[in-house]
Structure 1
C-alpha cells in the first residue's frame, strides 16, 4: 500500500471522519469532498495550448483523485481557475501566463534596504521604497493575508492532530 493516490484518499477519509461537525476552517464549504476527475485529454489540451508540461503528480491528482475540492482554506481550486491571478476577482484580462519562465528557482527573501534613512531624506527614502515594491510585485511575488496564513496553520494543525491520533498514516503501510 505504498501508492500515494491510495494514501491521499485514505488520509482524506480519516480527516473527514475526524471532523464530523466540520469545525476545521473551510471544511464546511468543501465537506471533504473532491470534484469529478478531469479527463486526461483536457489536461493534455491545456498543456498543448500553453506550450507547457505539467508535473505528472499534478496530472495524476486531477485525473485520478479529483478536480479540486477538499484542501486547506476553502479547498483546492478547480483546474479551470488556474490561470486567474486573483481568484476573488476572476477576470479574463488578468490571466497568468504558465509558459513564462518561473522566476523563483532558488531560495530568496527580497527585502527593502534603503540607501538613505527615512529621517535623513524622506522623499528619497520613499522613492527607493516605491521602486522596490514595483520590482517586488512585478515579479508576481505573492503574500498570504493574515486570514489565509491562519487558515493554512489551522489546516496543518488539524492534519497533525489527526496524525497524532492515527500514527499509522505516517508510514507507507500500516504493516510497517
Structure 2
C-alpha cells in the first residue's frame, strides 16, 4: 500500500483556520477547517468489500491516518459514512457517485485533452447575422458587405501570440 505522511495535516488545518479571513474562504463554512475521524482498518476493509475494489493507496492511507472527509478544496472532501449498513460518500453532490462504475478501469491512463473529438468552433463566416461580428464592415460599391471582403480583426495571433496587426506569418 502506498503511504504518505499525513501527521502534519491537523496542525496545517489549525493554522489555516486561524489565518485572517479563513471564514471567508469559499466552502469554509461547510467544513470549518476540520476533518472527520479516520476510518479504522476494519471499516476500510468493509468499504472496499462493499464497493468491490481496492481504493488507491494514497486515498487509503488518507482515510486511515488523516480523516474520512471534511476540510478540503471548495466545500471539502465528501465524508465517508455508513448509512443503513452501506458505506458511501455523503454531501451535496456525493450522490453523483455511481457505485456500479467504481470498479471499472479508469479510462485515462495517458495524458489527454477533454476537448479532443469535439467539433471545431464555427468560423465567423458561418454566423447567419452580422450582429455581434468583430469583423469590420467593408462596403462594396453597392453598400453591402460580402463575406469575401471581410478581414479578421483578432487582437492576437493564436499561433504565436503576436499582435494580429504585426503577424503576417499566420494570419492573412
TM-score of the two chains, using structure 1 as the length reference: 0.52
* Alignment partners' CA distance in 2, 1:95 and 1:50: 7
Structure showing greater Rg: 2
When you count helix as a share of all residues, which structure comes out higher? 1
Q: 1:4, CA displacement in angstroms?
A: 2.2
- Partner of residue 45, structure 1: 46
- Partner of residue 30, structure 1: 31
Could you tell me which runs of 5 or more consecutive residues in structure 2 were left unpaired when the two chains were aligned. Answer: 82-87, 128-172
- Partner of residue 103, structure 2: 99
Q: 1:17, CA displacement in angstroms?
A: 1.5
| TM-align CA RMSD | 3.2
Judging changes above 3 Å, is the alpha-carbon distance between structure 1 residues 20 and 87 closer, same or farther for their aligned structure 2 residues? closer
Q: 1:90, CA displacement in angstroms?
A: 2.8
- Partner of residue 113, structure 1: 119
Secondary structure at the aligned position of 1:107 is classed as: coil
When you count strand as a share of all residues, which structure comes out higher? 2
Q: 1:76, CA displacement in angstroms?
A: 0.9
Judging changes above 3 Å, is the alpha-carbon distance between structure 1 residues 98 and 66 closer, same or farther for their aligned structure 2 residues? same
Could you tell me which runs of 5 or more consecutive residues in structure 1 were left unpaired when the two chains were aligned. Answer: 121-176
Judging changes above 3 Å, is the alpha-carbon distance between structure 1 residues 63 and 104 closer, same or farther for their aligned structure 2 residues? same
Alignment of 1:162-173 (within 5 A): none
TM-score of the two chains, using structure 2 as the length reference: 0.54
Q: How many residues align?
A: 114
